[in-house]
């Protein structure tokens, strides 16, 4: 027993499929109320559900919006996803989800799959990687997107543009001022901490991580402080934990050499890493903020109840998702797709 079709509804109502279509779906011209009534009744009694696939094929617009994230379980991405989902709902469209793991090659696959499904637009929330090994995959991703746009697709990239993507029609970037914000964070921290700085960063070439690292260093420099040593690790909680473990030993050595040494300050390029690092420090007996200060980036909602409260940079994640989605839907959000954030100093970096 298959779902009933428009033709069946039409037959039951004693009209032509064309008329039935006009009644049931949003057509320009409305048939007479009497006949419309019959059609609607027929539709209900048959439990008619329009076949969106067929509609999409006929009007070449699917009402689908593709969302690419690294990992939907990562709170950073799920917050953005919520924003995307919200707008999609408002616009009566549906979200197609793809978690990729983060390589440009996987993202290209996802984009291709979305293109195959004729998604009207695509939002890419993953961060760009400029690692040498990813050069050719990046090029292919850019090519794929370019083709998608030329075929009338709209794409919005969160964070920074896709490496090598042409600024074609329909290609938007929701810029996140990572560098500027972490520069400010560094400035604020340098004002209260006289000790040494360390940065826990993601793998080299990960754009978001690189930008935040660079901005932080610039801030330190502006404050007349020496550059921080950078520990590279994976861009997630585990990475933070490992790096935290290493730093713990160094911090212990520091205090052993000089019990009155100035308290060091750690900047992890995202909150999840900061939390991991904090866990490692705690395990080694280093208390925060007494033995070391630590700050993150993103201001992940789920992590706000963490104690000591984590200093971080608040990013309007949901809003980013909404903005990205709107920008692909023709709604002119204004040329300036730059979002803003703000430094949030809390207990984890308290003085003293």
Partner DNA sequence: CTGTTAGCGCCTTCAG
Partner DNA sequence: CTGAAGGCGCTAACAG
How many residues at the interface with a second copy, by CB under 8 A? 57
Beta carbon of residue 115, minimum distance to DNA (angstroms, whole number): 11
Q: What are phi and psi of 125, to 5 degrees?
A: -105, -5
CA separation for the pair 310, 306 (Å, rounded):
7
| Residue from 216, 211, 242, 240 nearest 229 by CA | 216
Q: Which is nearer to DNA, 94 or 339 (CB)?
A: 94
CA separation for the pair 349, 297 (Å, rounded):
13
Beta carbon of residue 300, minimum distance to a second copy (angstroms, whole number): 8
DSSP secondary structure code for residue 91 in this structure:
T
Q: Residue 89 interacts with a second copy (CB under 8 A)?
A: yes
Convert residues 226-265 into a mask of x (bound to a second copy by CB under 8 A) and - (unbound): -----------x----------------------------
Contact 147, 113 (CB under 8 A): no
Residue 299 region by backbone torsions, left for phi larger than 0, else alpha for psi between -120 and 50, else beta = left
CB-based burial, 284-321: b 16+ in 10 Å, e otherwise: eebebbebbbbbbbbbbeebeebebbbbbbbbbbbebb
Q: Which residues bind DNA (CB under 7 A)?
A: 2-3, 5-7, 14-19, 21-22, 24-25, 27, 29-32, 35, 48, 50-51, 54-55, 57-60
Select the binding partner of residue 249 from a second copy, DNA, none (C-beta < 5 to 8 A, by kind).
none
State the CB neighbour count (10 A cutoff) for residue 95: 18
| Residue from 36, 206, 37, 238 nearest 138 by CA | 206
> Which of 19, 21, 62, 209: binder of a second copy (CB under 8 A)?
62
Select the binding partner of residue 307 from a second copy, DNA, none (C-beta < 5 to 8 A, by kind).
a second copy
Beta carbon of residue 15, minimum distance to DNA (angstroms, whole number): 3
CA separation for the pair 129, 133 (Å, rounded):
9
CA separation for the pair 332, 138 (Å, rounded):
28
* Residue found under tokens 């160094």: 250
What residues numbered 160-219 form the site for a second copy, per CB under 8 A?
none
Stretch that binds a second copy, among 17-25, 42-50, 120-128, 191-199 (CB under 8 A): 42-50
Beta carbon of residue 156, minimum distance to DNA (angstroms, whole number): 24
> Which of 5, 8, 40, 82: binder of a second copy (CB under 8 A)?
82
Select the binding partner of residue 82 from DNA, a second copy, none (C-beta < 5 to 8 A, by kind).
a second copy
Q: Which is nearer to a second copy, 16 or 302 (CB)?
A: 302
Angle, helices 17-24 vs 6-13, to 10°: value is 100
Q: Residue 16 interacts with a second copy (CB under 8 A)?
A: no
Residues within the interface to a second copy (CB under 8 A): 1-3, 47, 49-54, 56-57, 62, 67, 71-75, 78-79, 81-82, 85-86, 89, 94-99, 112-113, 115-118, 147, 150-152, 237, 272, 275-276, 278-279, 282, 300-303, 305-307, 318
């Amino acid at each position: 027993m298959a779902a009933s079709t428009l033709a069946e509804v039409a037959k039951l109502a004693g009209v032509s499929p064309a008329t039935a279509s006009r009644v049931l779906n949003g057509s320009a011209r409305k048939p007479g109320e009497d006949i419309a009534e019959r059609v609607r009744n027929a539709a209900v009694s048959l439990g008619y559900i329009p076949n969106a696939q067929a509609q999409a094929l006929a009007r070449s617009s699917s009402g689908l919006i593709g969302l690419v994230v690294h990992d939907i379980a990562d709170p950073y991405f799920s917050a953005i996803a919520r924003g995307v989902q919200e707008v999609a709902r408002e616009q009566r469209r549906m979200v197609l989800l793809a978690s990729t793991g983060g390589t440009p090659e996987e993202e290209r696959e996802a984009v291709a799959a979305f293109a195959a499904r004729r998604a009207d637009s695509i939002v890419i929330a993953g961060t760009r990687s400029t690692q040498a090994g990813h050069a050719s995959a990046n090029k292919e991703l850019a090519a794929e997107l370019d083709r998608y746009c030329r075929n009338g697709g709209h794409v919005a990239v969160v964070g920074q543009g896709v490496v090598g993507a042409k600024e074609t029609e329909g290609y938007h970037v929701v810029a996140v001022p990572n560098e500027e914000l972490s520069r400010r964070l560094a400035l604020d921290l340098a004002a209260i901490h006289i000790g040494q700085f360390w940065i826990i960063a993601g793998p080299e070439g990960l754009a978001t991580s690189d930008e935040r690292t660079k901005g932080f260093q610039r801030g330190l420099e502006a404050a007349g402080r020496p550059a921080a040593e950078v520990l590279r690790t994976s861009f997630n909680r585990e990475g933070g934990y490992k790096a935290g473990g290493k730093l713990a030993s160094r911090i212990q050595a520091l205090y052993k050499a000089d019990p009155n040494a100035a308290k060091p300050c750690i900047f992890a390029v995202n909150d999840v890493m900061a939390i991991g690092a904090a866990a490692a420090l705690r395990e080694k007996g280093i208390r925060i903020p007494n033995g070391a200060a630590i700050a993150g980036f993103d201001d992940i909602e789920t992590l706000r109840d963490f104690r000591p409260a984590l200093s971080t940079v608040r990013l309007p994640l949901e809003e980013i998702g909404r903005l990205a989605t709107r920008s692909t839907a023709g709604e002119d959000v204004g040329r300036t797709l730059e979002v803003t954030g703000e430094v949030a100093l809390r207990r984890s970096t308290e003085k003293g």
